[in-house]
Amino acid sequence: MRKFIPAAVLFVTLFFLSLPAEAQSEPFPDLSTRGTTNMPTPSPPVIPFIDLTVRNPSTGQEVAFSLQLLLLLTVLSLAPSILILMTSFLRISIVLDFIKRALSLQQVPPNQVILGISLFMTVFIMWPTFTSIYENSVKPLASGNLSVENAYFEAEAPLRVFMYSQMGRSRDGELTGGQRNIVLFMAMRGLDKPRDLSDVPTYVLIPAFILNELTVAFKIGILLFIPFIVIDMVVASALMSMGMIMLPPVMISMPFKLILFILVDGWGLLTDQLVRSFM
Which 8-state DSSP code applies to residue 191?
P
State the pLDDT confidence band at 52, using cuts at 50, 70 and 90. low
Q: What pLDDT sits at residue 24?
A: 46
Q: Is the pLDDT of residue 216 over 60?
A: yes
Q: Please give the Cα distance from 205 to 156 (Å, whole number).
A: 12
Share of the chain above pLDDT 90, in %: 4
Omega within 30 of 0 (cis) for the link into 109: yes
Pick from 132-136, 178-182, 257-261: least confident: 178-182
State the pLDDT confidence band at 21, using cuts at 50, 70 and 90. very low
Alpha helix segments (H runs only) across the chain: 4-17, 21-24, 60-85, 89-102, 111-133, 139-143, 148-165, 177-188, 202-241, 249-263, 266-278
Where is pLDDT greater, at 116 or 142? 116
Q: Is the pLDDT of residue 23 over 50?
A: no
Q: Which amino acid is at 167?
A: M
Q: Is the pLDDT of residue 64 over 70?
A: no
Residue 61's alpha-carbon distances to 64, 65, 137, in angstroms, are 5, 6, 21
Residues contacting 241, CB < 8 A, separation 6+: none
Residue (of 3, 173, 155, 1) closest to 75 by Cα position: 155
Question: Where in the chain are the domains?
Answer: 69-278
Mean pLDDT of 199-219: 88
Mean pLDDT of 178-190: 82
Q: What pLDDT sits at residue 76?
A: 77
Share of the chain above pLDDT 70, in %: 75
Q: What pLDDT sits at residue 240?
A: 80
Mean pLDDT of 168-188: 75
Exposure string of 221-242, with b = 16+ CB inside 10 Å and e = fewer, is beebeeebeebbeebeeebeee
Q: Is the pLDDT of residue 15 over 70?
A: no
